[in-house]
Amino acid sequence: MSTMTTPDLTANTAGIITPNPFWLASAPPTNSGAQIMRAFDAGWGGAVWKTLGQPIQNVSSRFGGLHHRSSRAIGFNNIELITDRPLDVNFREIAEVKRRYPKHGVIVSLMVETREEWREIIKRAIDAGADGLELNFGCPHGMCERGMGSAVGQEPALNERITSWAAEFSTVPVLVKLTPNVDDIVPNGLAAKAGGADGVSLINTIKSVIGVDIDRFVIEPRVGGSSTNGGYCGPAVKPIALHMVAALAREPAFGLPISGIGGIASWRDAVEFLLLGCDSVQVCTEVMLRGYRVVEDMIEGLREYMRAHSFARLSDMVGKAVPSFREWGELDMNFETVAKIDPATCIGCQACVVACNDGAHQCIHPAQGSRVPRVDESECVGCNLCQIVCPVPGCITMAPVDNGFAPASWNDFIAGEGLLRPKKGAH
Amino acid sequence: MTKLPPTRSETVFADAKPPYGAAQALAEANRCFYCADAPCIQACPTEIDIPEFIRKISTDNLKGSARTIFASNIFGMSCARVCPVEVLCVGACVYNEMDAPPIQIGKLQRYATDRAFAEGWRFFEAGPDSGKSVALLGGGPASLAAAHELRRQGHACTIYEQSELLGGLSATGVAPYKMQADRALEEVEWVLGIGGIEVRTGVAIGRDLSLSELRERHDAVLIGIGLGPDRLLAAPGHELAGIRGAVAWIAEMKTKALDLRGIGRAAVIGGGNTAVDAVRELLGVGIGEVTLIYRGSEAEMSGYAHEWAAAKIAGARAAFRCQPIGFTGEAGQVRGVEVVSLDAERRPIAGGERVIAAELVLMAIGQSRLGALVDGVDGLTLAGGHVVVDAAGATGCPGVFAAGDCANGGKEVVNAVAEGRRAALAIDRYLRGGEAL
């Protein structure tokens, strides 16, 4: 048991100080002051106010869920737009929240068109007490048809220009929220930096069609007899978000603080984003599905994780996994693992047998007289598929093999400097 | 076919395992690991592809799910309710290996097959006429399952049943908290719906027709007549009114409204599944005090432990290690069972005599064996009162096959169905002489 004092969860995201790194993302959970005050009472450290701009009118319905087996909404999409409430009401509520919760972070998300509109709305947000601004250059539905949202985020020059206006007008930190609907996130992050942003937040939602009503022949979420593409989010997008966050974090020319977003549903997810370089994380879908109360476990889980790893403060862990992200050509080709099945915990479902036989390299076989399968280690390529499909945690492990070969990458090999072990399963 | 009265003694019972609704079925189906070479299939006498039918429930392909079940077991609807799943498929589920609740396969199977009945889905058609005909003796699950399979192969079928009711013990023997007789008869009609199965009820083999005559009339014969009547203890007083065979009493309870006036206490003699069922049924029809009398210890009972546990919860009493030695009565009516306590070697203990009061005594000590039926048929042999068959259901007499209780000595409906279908396939091979007709 560690004797260290309670880890400090205070987060500093481009100068925005919050009691913990858990923020609500700009979305329905941050639509009003009453909601955000309830969220702060539940423990959230910050909230990015639902995007302000010229108030819009929404359609019905607005959301769609991707369900898999018994899991509801492992993916989620929406065709809702920015705030539909009067700006005066929003700013009055921002002021009230900041008066009542001075130590919590209120970041105001903004989306307008012209330079004059940006100047006006930034002034009003700061006057109301915003601790920071988030420029919504990411929304992939509706607003982009009007020349805003992802229409800006997908165009680095436009991104840089508008960011530069905000940087000029703002006296508080400016975060640029980036869209993932690009082939490479790095130029877009660099554009925000060039425009003078203090940090970025990513990812916004991914352009998506969540499903099709197969009896009505209409895509979902259905608005009468038609629908449109929405923004995709939820646990299913986390791998895409982690990749984009890491791509910026490992870019030497970038170097700005990052607020991570995309499928964060637990403290474990949050830790992954922090390890890949985020100073704070933003959550939406999990709160929409389960409520503000989920933050209790997020805070506690993060604190216990930090205690277990002897991290005294967030900066001790932020970015710790970034150096592990390498190009494929730099990977050690001689690192070898094989699957080991623990007979004591194996339940004999033989899911691994089918998966290996049909989906991998035909090296796990039924055993005579036992339901516990047999791994042909001479053929096992160490692909992980059996471990992924096994329903018993810890039953299948991938054990390293000492094959006597010194580490060597493909790049080493091409350069004539490395000796590669013989291939397995390639006959 | 004979109609059942709408109100029978059995109609007071509710389902011990209520059916799933759509949300429950979906949640349970999604838990299934879809095992390869699944233990549940291996545990099913009819080898239903259980992971496949469960997957089809999870994707809302209920028609496909029911088709998968019925393709292996045409009695899939009743087996879903009456199978001892705890010792078959559910008992083999790999979830047991991780000490987690196993998949409720019976309830999922009921969900899919009940839907098929409700929607009137039919999956099988009779094959092109082969010109051959088969006699099936007995109208229970073995014969019906065989007839259905034989019709798929194009053979004409005639079922000879001694009673007025088809369905055998599926109709008259299944515990009513699992399935009631009207549902079993509905299933019989559903099975007969394939067409081309002639049914002759009220015909007893050995009385109205001989096996030799049937062999002359038909190209093959399947014996699926089950077991004989209840065996009764010939202890002093056994002629008193109110002493009955359990199988006969259960059949009456399921098909009639019994007059139970004057019966406040009952006793059931035996330790098998029929005895345990009878105890639960007596309690269920309103008899306040029901005692199971068994020679052995509780652990030695051949009845399923999970069924006996349910009987105890329902209020069953028991007298273990007790041997009935006589019956007491008044005015020709039984009033009690005289028993003597037995020691561990089942020897009477001196002074261990007492009387267990009962106005109704059911004997559940087994059913009588076959006898006269097979006399004089070359090659047909009996062992222990059962017809001797090979693995495919063939007797030693060419063209004569047997399936179900009369061949296996008395097992579950699912065994009768499996054996009936297996015998039908053997009959088909026999009729085709190893070649296509």
B329 and B222 housed in the same domain: no
- The total domain count for chain A is 2
C-beta separation of A394 from A345 below 8 A: yes
H or E stretch covering B383: strand B382-383
A71 and A186 housed in the same domain: yes
Of A324, A345, A377, at which residue does a domain stop? A324
Q: What is the pLDDT, as a whole number, of residue A1?
A: 47
> Residue holding tokens 């920071």?
A132
A237 and A359 housed in the same domain: no
Q: How many CB atoms lie within 10 A of CB A380?
A: 24
Instruction: Identify which of A69, A347, A350 has the shortest CB distance to residue B36.
Output: A350
Q: What is the pLDDT, as a whole number, of residue B371?
A: 65
Instruction: Identify which of B26, B30, B37 has the shortest CB distance to residue A350.
Output: B37
Of B56, B84, B119, at which residue does a domain stop? B119
Range of the domain at A373: 328-414
Residue A426 corresponds to which tokens in the numbers above? 């390639």
C-beta separation of B381 from B115 below 8 A: no
C-beta separation of B66 from B74 below 8 A: no
A149 and A269 housed in the same domain: yes
B314 and B391 housed in the same domain: no
Among the listed residues A299, A346, A292, the one whose alpha carbon sits nearest the alpha carbon of residue A6: A299
Residue A36 corresponds to which tokens in the numbers above? 């955000």
Residue B11: inside a domain: no
A139 flagged as catalytic: yes
- In tens, the pLDDT along A140-166 reads 888 888 888 888 889 999 999 999 999
Of B63, B92, B119, at which residue does a domain stop? B119
**Which whole number is the average pLDDT over A18-25?**
98
Residue A25: inside a domain: yes
A203 and A340 housed in the same domain: no
Report d(CA B237, CA B240) in Å as an integer.
6
Using a CB-CB cut-off of 8 Å, the residues of chain B touching A351 are 33-36
Test A371 with B33 for CB contact under 8 angstroms: no
Residue B6: inside a domain: no
Q: Can you tell me the ipTM of this complex?
A: 0.90
- In tens, the pLDDT along A330-345 reads 999 999 999 999 999 9
Residue B394: inside a domain: yes
Percent of chain A with pLDDT over 90: 94
Looking at chain B, which residue has its C-alpha nearest residue A371?
Answer: B39
Residue B93: inside a domain: yes
CATH number for the domain spanning B77: value is 1.10.1060.10
Using a CB-CB cut-off of 8 Å, the residues of chain A touching B94 are 347-349, 371
Report d(CA B325, CA A176) in Å as an integer.
94
Residue B96 predicted with pLDDT over 50: yes
DSSP code at position A159: H
Q: What is the pLDDT, as a whole number, of residue B154?
A: 98
Residue A38 corresponds to which tokens in the numbers above? 């309830």
Of A275, A296, A324, at which residue does a domain stop? A324
B42: CB partners within 8 A, 6+ apart: B92
DSSP code at position A20: S
Q: What is the pLDDT, as a whole number, of residue B437?
A: 46
CATH number for the domain spanning A122: value is 3.20.20.70
The stretches of B342-412 forming alpha helices (DSSP H) are: 405-408
DSSP code at position B263: -
Range of the domain at B406: 133-227+374-431
Q: What is the DSSP string of A71-120?
A: EEEEEEEE---S--S-HHHHHHHHHHHHHH-TTSEEEEEE--SSHHHHHH
Percent of chain B with pLDDT over 70: 97
- In tens, the pLDDT along B408-435 reads 999 999 999 999 999 999 999 999 985 5
Nearest CA-CA distance, residue A68 and chain B, Å: 9
DSSP code at position A225: T
By CB atoms closer than 10 A (0-12, 13-18, 19+), residue B65 is buried
A316 and A340 housed in the same domain: no
**Which whole number is the average pLDDT over A291-311?**
98
Report d(CA B220, CA B393) in Å as an integer.
12
Mean pLDDT score across all residues of chain B? 95
Of A324, A346, A376, at which residue does a domain stop? A324
Residue A5: inside a domain: no
- In tens, the pLDDT along B252-263 reads 999 999 999 999
B156 and B103 housed in the same domain: no
A195 and A78 housed in the same domain: yes
B258 and B354 housed in the same domain: yes
Q: How many CB atoms lie within 10 A of CB A41?
A: 10
Residue A427: inside a domain: no
Q: What is the pLDDT, as a whole number, of residue A151?
A: 87
Using a CB-CB cut-off of 8 Å, the residues of chain A touching B37 are 350, 353, 366
C-beta separation of A394 from A337 below 8 A: no
- The total domain count for chain B is 3
A280: CB partners within 8 A, 6+ apart: A11, A13, A16, A18, A21, A22, A23, A45, A46, A259, A260
Residue A4: inside a domain: no
Residue A421: inside a domain: no
A211 and A253 housed in the same domain: yes
C-beta separation of A178 from A188 below 8 A: yes
Residue B411: inside a domain: yes
B112 and B159 housed in the same domain: no
Residue A101: inside a domain: yes
B248 and B222 housed in the same domain: no
A262 and A216 housed in the same domain: yes
Using a CB-CB cut-off of 8 Å, the residues of chain B touching A346 are 97
Q: What is the pLDDT, as a whole number, of residue A142?
A: 84
A222 and A339 housed in the same domain: no
- In tens, the pLDDT along A66-103 reads 999 989 999 999 999 999 999 999 999 999 999 999 99
Q: Is B37 near chain A, with CB under 8 Å?
A: yes
The dihedral built from the CA positions of residue B188, B190, B191 and B196, taken in this order, carries a sign that is: positive
Of B68, B90, B119, at which residue does a domain stop? B119
A332 and A320 housed in the same domain: no
Q: What is the pLDDT, as a whole number, of residue B1?
A: 56
Confidence of residue A3 (pLDDT cuts 50, 70, 90): low
B23 and B72 housed in the same domain: yes
Percent of chain B with pLDDT over 90: 91
- In tens, the pLDDT along B149-174 reads 999 999 999 999 999 999 999 999 99
A62 and A156 housed in the same domain: yes
Q: What is the pLDDT, as a whole number, of residue A6?
A: 93
Residue A368: inside a domain: yes
Report d(CA A258, CA B408) in Å as an integer.
74
User: What torsion, rounded to 10 degrees, do the Cα atoms A340, A342, A347, A353 define?
Assistant: 10
Report d(CA B226, CA B386) in Å as an integer.
9
Test A366 with B35 for CB contact under 8 angstroms: no
Test A350 with B31 for CB contact under 8 angstroms: no
* Cα B199 from chain centroid (whole Å): 20
Q: Is B26 near chain A, with CB under 8 Å?
A: yes
Residue A190: inside a domain: yes
CATH number for the domain spanning A400: value is 3.30.70.20
B334 and B249 housed in the same domain: yes
B249 and B340 housed in the same domain: yes
Nearest CA-CA distance, residue A350 and chain B, Å: 5
Confidence of residue B436 (pLDDT cuts 50, 70, 90): very low
B404 and B384 housed in the same domain: yes
B348 and B273 housed in the same domain: yes
Residue A130 predicted with pLDDT over 80: yes
CATH number for the domain spanning B403: value is 3.50.50.60
Vertex B63 angle, CA B60 and B66, to 5°: 110
Using a CB-CB cut-off of 8 Å, the residues of chain B touching A70 are 26-27, 30-31
DSSP code at position A323: G
**Which whole number is the average pLDDT over B316-325?**
97
Residue B6 corresponds to which tokens in the numbers above? 């709408």
Instruction: Identify which of B26, B34, B97 has the shortest CB distance to residue A348.
Output: B97
**Which whole number is the average pLDDT over A390-419?**
96
Q: What is the pLDDT, as a whole number, of residue B381?
A: 87
* Cα B379 from chain centroid (whole Å): 28
Test B94 with A348 for CB contact under 8 angstroms: yes
Q: Is B99 near chain A, with CB under 8 Å?
A: no
Residue B87: inside a domain: yes
Test B33 with A349 for CB contact under 8 angstroms: yes
Report d(CA B133, CA B270) in Å as an integer.
42
Residue B233: inside a domain: no
Using a CB-CB cut-off of 8 Å, the residues of chain A touching B97 are 346-348
- In tens, the pLDDT along B375-388 reads 567 788 888 889 99
Looking at chain B, which residue has its C-alpha nearest residue A395?
Answer: B98
Residue B369: inside a domain: no
**Which whole number is the average pLDDT over B186-192?**
97
